[in-house]
Chains A and B, each alone.
Chain A
Amino acid sequence: MALAASASPPRRPAAPLDVEAVRRDFPILSTRVNGKPLVYLDNAATGQRPLAVIEAVRRSMAEQNANVHRGVHTLSEQATLAYDAVREDARAFLNAPAGHEVIFVRGTTEGINLVAQSYGRTTLRPGDEILLTTMEHHSNIVPWQIVAGQTGAVVRAIPITDAGEVDLDAYRSLLGPRTKIVGVVHISNALGTINPVAEMTRLAHEAGAVVVVDGAQAAPHTAVDVQALGCDFYACSGHKMFGPTGVGLLWGRTELLDAMPPWQGGGDMIHTVSFTGTTFAPLPAKFEAGTPAIAEVIGLGAAIRYLRGIGFDAIGAWEHALLERATALVSAVPGVRLVGTARQKAGVLSFTLAGVHPHDLGTILDADGVAIRAGHHCAQPVMDRFGVHATARASFAFYNTFDEIDALVRGLHRAREVFA
C-alpha cells in the first residue's frame, strides 16, 4: 500500500513483519469455521482484536470498573486515569496538535453526524453546497442530506473515474464560493482508493470550505497525520482499528470546535447548570455528554499502542505485498472483473465473478472458512457508478498471509465449478 501517499516524507525501510508471531496475538485467527481454519478477509467491515485489547477491556471490567470523572473513591480514580490517558494515545495516533481536539464518539458514523448537526446545522445557509465524492460510505452522505434538508443547503457529488479515483478536474470546477463543506473518504471501503486528501483539502480551503475526512479505513492501515493532511475534521472507528466496537475518534480544529454548540446535553458536558441557564464545559467534555464507553475507550487505547508497537511501516509494506499478490491471482481467474483499480490503493479487492452472484460466492467461500463481504458495502452510489448491484470484497490486514490469498483463489475456482 502506498501509504499516506502524497503527505508523508519518505520513510526508512519497513522492518519486516513476523506474520506468524502477529497471528498468535489474535485468538480468533486460530479458530475454525465450518470445520476449516478461519481465513478472515473481511477486515474492512471490522478488524479482529489482539489479546492486548481483550485483556485491557477485561481488566477494566474486572478490576477497575467505576464511573469516570465523578467519584473520589480509588476505583473511580483509577478508571478516570486509565480513561483519560487514552486521549493522549489518540492525539499522538492522529498527530493532532492538542488532546482536547480529540473527542471520543461511538464511531465514524457518530463523528460525522456530530459535525453535520453541530457545525453544519449552525453554519449552512440556503443554497450553500456540500461536496461529497461519489465513493463516500453512506455514513458520509446521509448525515449531510439530513442537514441539507434542515438548512436548505445542497449536496453535490464529485465524480469519480473508471479506475475509481476522484476526478480532480471535475472537483475543481465544482468548488466555488457556495462550497461550504467538502466530505471525502481517506480510503474507500468499496474500492480501496487512497484519496489525495491533502491536495483536495488545499483546494477546498482556497474556496473557503472546511474539509471533513472519513478515516474509517485509513486509521487501521496508514499513519494518519491530520496536520499534514491539513483537514478540519477527521473521524475513525475503534472496531476497524482492532479495538472494541462502540468507540471511535473525532478530531477537529480547536477554533471550529470552540465555536460549535454541543449536540447532546447531559452530564459531564456542563460547567454549571441551573434552571435559568447552563454553561458548557470546555473541550473535549462539551461534546461528550453522559457516561462514556469506558472499557471500550481503554480498549481502544490498547489497540493504538498495539498498532504503534508493530508500526505502520511494517504494516504498510506487508499489506501492500498482500494486495499485489491478491490482485494478480484474483484477476487471473476467468470471469473476474476488478472494481476499483486506482493507482494508490489500500488492501481492498472488490470484484465480480461472471455467472456467480457475490452472495453465492460469499456462501461458497464460507463453506471453506473464507470470510469475505458481499453486497453494496454501504456505498450504493459506487455500485451505480460501476453498473453493478453488488461486489465481492476481500479486505486485508497485517495478520493475513499469502496462504490465505491462495485459499480465496481456490474458492473462486470452486465457485466457478459449482456454477459451471
Chain B
Amino acid sequence: MSRDLNELYQSVILDHNKTPRNFHELPPPASHADGHNPLCGDRLTVWVDVEDDTVKDVAFLGNGCAISKASASLMTAAVKGKSRADAMALADEFQKLVTGKLEGAAERKALGKLQALAGVSEYPVRVKCASLAWHTLKAALAGAPAEPITTE
C-alpha cells in the first residue's frame, strides 16, 4: 500500500478546500437535499436548479474536512451544464474512482479534474468524506427526501 500524503492532499484539493466554488445557496425553485455523515458529523446541503432536464446551476454549503469540501466544490464545477442522467452517471463513476474500482485509463481521464480525488481510495475511512456530496447531489436531483441523506 503506497500512502503518500501528497497524493491525497493535492494542490487542487487544497485550493478547493480553501476557496470552494459555488459555495452559496440557490433560491427557489432550485431543489436541495441535506447530507450528513453521522460518523464524523460532516453536514452539507446541495442545491440544484434543473431546467429542461439540464443542471443549469448547482451550489453547496456545509462544513467538513478538506476532502469533503473539495469533493463538493469539484462536483459543482463538474456537473454544471450536464443532463440529469449524465450527472447521475458521473456520480457512479466518481464512486468507483474513490473506491479504487475504476479500471481503464480512459474512464479515469473522462473524470477530468475529479481525478484529483483518486488518492482517497488508499484511505478507506475517508471514502465517505469524498462521496457525501455526491450522495446528496443524487438525492437533490431525484427530488429531496424529508430525511437527510446519510453515509451510513
Residue ranges of A at the interface with B (Cβ–Cβ < 8 Å)? 34, 356-360, 363-364, 367, 374-376, 380, 383, 389-390, 418-419
Contact = CB atoms under 8 A, between A and B. Distances in A.
Contacts of A376: 40-41
Contacts of A357: 64-66
Nearest to A419: B14
A345 B40 CA distance: 25
A367 B3 CA distance: 8
26 contacts: A34-B3, A357-B64, A359-B64, A359-B65, A359-B129, A360-B9, A360-B65, A360-B66, A363-B8, A363-B123, A367-B3, A367-B5, A374-B40, A375-B39, A375-B40, A376-B40, A376-B41, A383-B41, A389-B41, A389-B42, A389-B63, A390-B41, A418-B9, A418-B14, A419-B14, A419-B17
B126 interface: yes
A372 B5 CA distance: 17
A367 B40 CA distance: 20
Interface residues of B, number: 19
Contacts of B123: 363
Interface in B105-121: none
B69 to A, nearest CB: 8
Contacts, number: 46
Contacts of B137: none
B9 A359 contact: no
A383 B38 CA distance: 14
Interface in B1-41: 3, 5, 8-9, 14, 17, 39-41
Which are the 6 A-B pairs with shortest beta-carbon distances? A357-B65, A359-B65, A360-B66, A376-B41, A367-B5, A360-B65
A363 B9 CA distance: 10
B67 interface: yes
Contacts of A383: 41
A414 to B, nearest CB: 9
A419 B70 CA distance: 13
A390 B40 contact: yes
